[in-house]
Structure formats: C-alpha cells, structure tokens
C-alpha cells in the first residue's frame, strides 16, 4: 500500500484568505516584515494589495538559527533589509509555512538586533503543526498535517502567482 499522498493546496486561494485576514490586523503603525524567501514574496504582494506606501521589510533567520553550524553561510542567501525603524513599531511577520517554530525564534532574535518593537505578531499561509517551541500564528490561512518526511514550501512563478512545492525528506 502506498501511503505517500500529495495534498492539493491552492496557494492563490489561501493567499486571498491571508489577505482578508491580515487586513484588520494592520494599522498605520504596523510594519510588514516577510521572512526570507516565501514570506518575503507574500509580504511584497500583501503590501501592494493593501495599498501600503511604506516599503515592507525582509528578514533572514540564517545568522540566529540553532543549526547555523551545520547549515553554514549557504543559508544566508537572504539578507535582512528593514527600511524603517523597528523601535516602538508594531511588526507583522509574514511567513509561508509554520512548522517547528525554530525559524520564527531565530527571526525574532534577528529583529531585536535592530531595536525593540512595541509588538510582534505572526501571520502564515500554512500552519503544518509539529511545533517544537511555544510559537503560534495570530493568523493562518490553512492548517494541515504532514508527516515529518514531507516538506512543503511556497514557489512563485514568473507571472507572480503562488503555488506549493512538496518534497520528501529523510
């Protein structure tokens, strides 16, 4: 019996849900910060679709990850770019997939290197469970369950449309 199945997730439909859910969380003092790389794509499109005039930020977890030693500098391809002051701001972190919470922990450490925000909230496209840390999204467009041997990530096509990529990992 083949137990491997591919879950079908419509990334564009989930994005529409994320956009609708994020809208009431945004105030004039909220800064959007996307987590490299899927979260950065989402933050860019959310910023545009919400008609925001302030540029969104991009943040990398690479330098604060607890597995930096094994991942090394190859994991630092996305550099943090925060074109605004973090100090006293309400930050809405955006990511594509929430899993163990380790990336979010690392990103919060990175964020505090730039100042102390008034608050930090998290919105994700997909929450796949499997948390290792007490981190919860304020908003997730979908909740799914995947075995630890499967990874899901967001891809962006040349025309800017989102789709999910599933792969087996050992």
Are the CB atoms for 89 and 54 separated by under 8 Å? no
Count Cβ atoms below 10 Å from residue 140 Cβ, excluding itself.
22
Domain presence at residue 2: no
Are the CB atoms for 137 and 118 separated by under 8 Å? no
Please report where in the chains the tokens 């005039």 appear, as a residue.
53
Domain presence at residue 104: yes
Domain presence at residue 6: no
Domain presence at residue 130: yes
Domain presence at residue 70: yes
pLDDT for 75: 47
Please report where in the chains the tokens 């597995």 appear, as a residue.
67
Question: pLDDT tens digits for 23-75?
Answer: 999 999 999 999 999 999 999 999 999 999 999 999 998 888 776 555 454 44
- Helices 11-22 and 38-49: crossing angle in degrees, nearest 10, is 60
Average model confidence (pLDDT) for the chain?
90
CATH number, position 88: 3.40.50.2020
Share of the chain above pLDDT 90, in %: 81
Where does residue 89 rank: exposed (0-12), middle (13-18), buried (19+ CB within 10 A)?
A: buried
User: Total structural domains in the chain?
Assistant: 1
3-class DSSP assignment, residue 60: coil
Q: Which domain holds residue 84?
A: 11-168
Question: pLDDT tens digits for 83-99?
Answer: 999 999 999 999 999 99
Count Cβ atoms below 10 Å from residue 159 Cβ, excluding itself.
5
Domain presence at residue 58: yes
Domain presence at residue 150: yes
3-class DSSP assignment, residue 96: strand
71 phi and psi, to 5 degrees? -85, -35
Domain presence at residue 77: yes
């Amino acid at each position: 019996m083949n137990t491997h199945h591919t879950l079908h997730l419509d990334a564009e439909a989930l994005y529409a849900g994320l956009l609708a859910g994020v809208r009431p969380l945004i105030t004039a003092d909220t800064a959007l910060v996307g987590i490299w790389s899927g979260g950065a794509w989402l933050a860019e499109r959310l910023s545009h679709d919400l008609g925001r005039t302030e540029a969104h930020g991009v943040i990398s977890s690479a330098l604060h990850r607890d597995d930096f030693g094994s991942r090394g500098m190859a994991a630092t391809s996305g550099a943090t770019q925060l074109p605004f002051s973090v100090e006293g701001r309400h930050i809405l972190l955006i990511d594509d997939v929430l899993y163990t919470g380790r990336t979010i922990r690392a990103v919060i450490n990175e964020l505090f290197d730039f100042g102390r925000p008034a608050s930090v909230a998290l919105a994700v496209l997909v929450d796949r469970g499997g948390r290792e840390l007490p981190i919860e999204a304020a908003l997730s467009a979908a909740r799914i369950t995947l075995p630890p041997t499967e990874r899901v990530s967001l891809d962006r096509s040349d025309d800017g449309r989102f789709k999910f990529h599933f792969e087996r990992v050992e």
